Amino acid sequence: MSNSGNSNVFSWLNAAGLSKYYPAFASENIDDDGFLRLTIQDYNRFGITAINERKSLFQLIQLLKTQQQPSTQSSIPPPVSGQGAPHSAKYDVVDPYMPHQGDSKRPPPKSSGRPADAPSYVTGSKIRVVVRKRPMNKKELGNHEIDIVTVDTDDVVSVHEQKVRVDLTKYIDRHRFRFDQVFDEDCPNEDVYRCTAQPLIESVFQGGRVTCFAYGQTGSGKTFTMMGKKDNGLYGLAGKDIFQLLRQPQYNHMHATVSFFEIYCDRLFDLLNNRKRVEALEDHSSNIVIHGLKEFDATSVNDIIAAIDAGQNARSTGTTSANADSSRSHAIFQITLKTTGKGGRGEKVVGKFSFIDLAGSERGADTRNSDRQTRMEGAEINKSLLALKECIRAMDQQHNHLPFRGSKLTMVLKDSFVGENCHTVMIANVSPNSGSCENTLNTLRYADRVKELKQGDDKVNRLIDRARGPVSTKPKKQLVAKAQPKRLAQPKPAWRGVNDDDDGMVKEEDNDDDEYDNGGDDEQEDELARTHEELITRILDEEDEFIAAHRQEVEDMMELVKKEMQLLAEVEEPGSDVDAYVKNLDKLLLQKIAKIEQLRKTLIAFQDELKMEETMSKTRNKR
């Protein structure tokens, strides 16, 4: 087969107003003369019933155009997304576990064709991974970018990557991933909520810890999903259901509190208290307590909206320019249910719902940036996303040791990973435009990795066990770094993808051998990247220590200055002992010199680390 006709395909489809079908055409389908060779899948996809092996693109365009007419009484299903069921039915879920939900007329969810159609948390798994595609925006359409992401049946999402061969011919590399659920660009927040967070609300009243992450590149729709417009984001929708349940008599001994904080460069800032820095500390029972974090009582969804507005405002109007960009920090909004103690005393936490709007996933790749602050942010984001994946894995596989100390993000979420009644939902948001292809693939690979390790997947568990050896309480940095693709700082390599095969079947592709069988250059580069990222983490820790040492030095100096003033006052008294004055002053000056020298020594060591980091960054960029 030839692909010479393929270069014109896009312009033909574009001219016919059908450019969105372009990703569906693999180059192999086009003959020299512009005829298509259609597979059985294509027949199904386009609803072609006449068994004719060859069909001209023109004929196909006519067919597709006919299908697009709203008035057409055709029984042909829509060709690209939402095949089979009309869209409104596609995401509607009647959740048998939520009797308060009300609308019993809703049709059942579209079958995925897999045995377990019930939510995964009902079928035993503690994690559920879904993908949400956002619509193309005006800018992307204005730039004539193509929508390369299609949402297929059976919860499969496909990315049609445009590639060029060495002989400069173009072709499409199609990557397919299957998730628990995939939402297309027309799906409203309410449906995403109904299929992800809502079925877990009641478990929070039963002592559960539920965590809902929005993951994806900057601008892919994380905030849109979490916040929505007014109160139709996941935060607000969950709030509505929580308060509705709180009004029921069996829960009248409970009340809700909210807190909102962000993690920037491994440091915590309270978004409901002027972005004050707060600390995550481990108490004597190994619980993580966020010391100084403000919690506010919430009695209605309006309180939730007000808290979110205040927090978002604090996020975008922060005093430092660096962390003013929300895509560089993780935002954590928590609704905690507590028993109401007498006179406000003796409160006990019943359950907690945590929503996390994660930092832009592509920021983790910023470890090669020329600006040190950006490199630091990138390294911390990378570290936290890797640690998060490790913790979700450990939780789902019920490992005894949870590597929550791998980052502040996992540390503050410790209680959401341990215990029987913990559930996690990850919403991987993707942008549809061709310019975001690499980031979209990275997002899907990361999410795929989280999903792949769901409990019960014996084959994968075996792979992991082989790679891991004994379980440790620290994240396997070496393993993680080795698993990085050539662009090391990307959050996730293609451990396993689902690719198209000739027969059109979705096939699983194990790339596990590649993880451990890199070439020498790759290994060297991995090693360098790992050392570099470790150095960045160390610098961040040392920065805190240095600032603390400097503060201590200033306080000590003030003490010494006070003593000097005392000496001055004494020496100015008539008949003062000048020998004692000189002796004591000398002592004080020596102490001051010692303090300054000590601080300077620390400063020089810190400076050396910064220089080393700069050199490493340059070396990595040259490679």
- The answer to whether 181 contacts ligand ATP (rule: CB under 6 A) is no
The only residue of 27, 150, 223, 273 in contact with ligand ATP, by rule CB under 6 A = 223
The only residue of 82, 109, 219, 493 in contact with ligand ATP, by rule CB under 6 A = 219
Q: Which stretch binds ligand ATP (CB under 6 A): 2-10, 139-147, 214-222, 240-248?
A: 214-222
- The answer to whether 218 contacts ligand ATP (rule: CB under 6 A) is yes
> How many C-alpha atoms does 216 have within 13 Å on its Cβ side?
27
In the complex, least distance from residue 218 CB atom to ligand ATP, rounded to whole angstroms:
4
The only residue of 82, 109, 208, 216 in contact with ligand ATP, by rule CB under 6 A = 216
> How many C-alpha atoms does 435 have within 13 Å on its Cβ side?
12
In the complex, least distance from residue 88 CB atom to ligand ATP, rounded to whole angstroms:
16
47 labeled part of a ligand binding site:
no
- The answer to whether 316 contacts ligand ATP (rule: CB under 6 A) is no
Q: Which stretch binds ligand ATP (CB under 6 A): 42-50, 86-94, 212-220, 246-254?
A: 212-220
Q: Which stretch binds ligand ATP (CB under 6 A): 219-227, 238-246, 250-258, 521-529?
A: 219-227
Q: Total residues contacting ligand ATP (rule CB under 6 A)?
A: 15
Instruction: Indicate the helix (H) or strand (E) that contains 345.
Output: none
Measure CA of the first residue to CA of the last residue in the chain; give whole Å: 39
Instruction: Find the binding residues for ligand ATP in span 418-457 (CB under 6 A).
Output: 429
C-beta neighbour count of 579 within 10 angstroms:
8
C-beta neighbour count of 135 within 10 angstroms:
13
Q: Is the dihedral of CA 148, 151, 153, 158 positive or negative?
A: positive
Instruction: Find the binding residues for ligand ATP in span 34-53 (CB under 6 A).
Output: none
DSSP-assigned letters across all residues of 11-60: HHHHHTT-GGGGGG--GGGB-TTSEEEPPHHHHHHHT--S--SEEEHHHH
- The answer to whether 224 contacts ligand ATP (rule: CB under 6 A) is yes
Q: Would you say 107 or 135 has its CB closer to ligand ATP?
A: 135
How far is the C-alpha of 345 from the C-alpha of 395, rounded, in Å?
Answer: 33
In the complex, least distance from residue 83 CB atom to ligand ATP, rounded to whole angstroms:
20
Q: CB within 8 A of 119, min separation 6: which ones?
A: 95, 97, 128, 195, 199
In the complex, least distance from residue 280 CB atom to ligand ATP, rounded to whole angstroms:
23
- The answer to whether 228 contacts ligand ATP (rule: CB under 6 A) is no
Q: Which stretch binds ligand ATP (CB under 6 A): 220-228, 543-551, 569-577, 605-613?
A: 220-228
How far is the C-alpha of 93 from the C-alpha of 96, rounded, in Å?
Answer: 9
Q: Would you say 359 or 418 has its CB closer to ligand ATP?
A: 359
SS3 (DSSP) at 286: coil
552 labeled part of a ligand binding site:
no
- The answer to whether 220 contacts ligand ATP (rule: CB under 6 A) is yes
Q: Would you say 171 or 224 has its CB closer to ligand ATP?
A: 224
In the complex, least distance from residue 316 CB atom to ligand ATP, rounded to whole angstroms:
10
Tokens encoding 461: 């568990």
406 labeled part of a ligand binding site:
no
- The answer to whether 23 contacts ligand ATP (rule: CB under 6 A) is no
- Beta-bridged to residue 338, according to DSSP, are 255, 349
- Region of 286 (left: φ > 0; alpha: ψ -120 to 50; beta: rest) is left
In the complex, least distance from residue 137 CB atom to ligand ATP, rounded to whole angstroms:
6
Q: Would you say 120 or 218 has its CB closer to ligand ATP?
A: 218
Rg (CA), the chain: 29
Tokens encoding 115: 């045995």
How far is the C-alpha of 360 from the C-alpha of 351, rounded, in Å?
Answer: 28
Q: Which stretch binds ligand ATP (CB under 6 A): 51-59, 213-221, 337-345, 538-546?
A: 213-221
The site string for ligand ATP over 348-377 (x = CB under 6 A, - otherwise) reads ------------x-----------------
> How many C-alpha atoms does 459 have within 13 Å on its Cβ side?
6
The site string for ligand ATP over 378-417 (x = CB under 6 A, - otherwise) reads ----------------------------------------
In the complex, least distance from residue 221 CB atom to ligand ATP, rounded to whole angstroms:
3
> How many C-alpha atoms does 471 have within 13 Å on its Cβ side?
15
Q: Which stretch binds ligand ATP (CB under 6 A): 195-203, 216-224, 417-425, 475-483?
A: 216-224
The beta strands (E) that lie in 145-208 are given as: 149-151, 156-164, 170-178, 181-183
Long-range contacts of 590-598 (CB under 8 A, 24+ apart): 591/560, 592/557, 592/560, 595/553, 595/556, 595/557, 595/560, 596/553, 598/553
Instruction: Find the binding residues for ligand ATP in span 585-614 (CB under 6 A).
Output: none
Longest dimension (CA), the chain: 119
- The answer to whether 135 contacts ligand ATP (rule: CB under 6 A) is yes
The only residue of 134, 352, 389, 532 in contact with ligand ATP, by rule CB under 6 A = 134
In the complex, least distance from residue 223 CB atom to ligand ATP, rounded to whole angstroms:
3
223 labeled part of a ligand binding site:
yes
Q: Which stretch binds ligand ATP (CB under 6 A): 217-225, 387-395, 491-499, 541-549?
A: 217-225
The only residue of 109, 221, 236, 403 in contact with ligand ATP, by rule CB under 6 A = 221
68 labeled part of a ligand binding site:
no
**Residue number with the shortest CB distance to ligand ATP?**
221
Closest CA to 602 of 544, 558, 562: 544
Q: CB within 8 A of 470, min separation 6: which ones?
A: none
C-alpha to C-alpha distances, 169 to 3, 298, 353, 536, 555, nearest whole angstrom:
8, 60, 51, 42, 69
Q: CB within 8 A of 586, min separation 6: which ones?
A: none
Q: Which stretch binds ligand ATP (CB under 6 A): 69-77, 91-99, 132-140, 389-397?
A: 132-140
- The answer to whether 491 contacts ligand ATP (rule: CB under 6 A) is no
How far is the C-alpha of 176 from the C-alpha of 495, rounded, in Å?
Answer: 13
Binding site for ligand ATP (CB under 6 A): 134-135, 137, 216, 218-224, 326-327, 360, 429
For the annotated binding site, the residues are 216-223
For the annotated binding site for ATP, the residues are 216-223
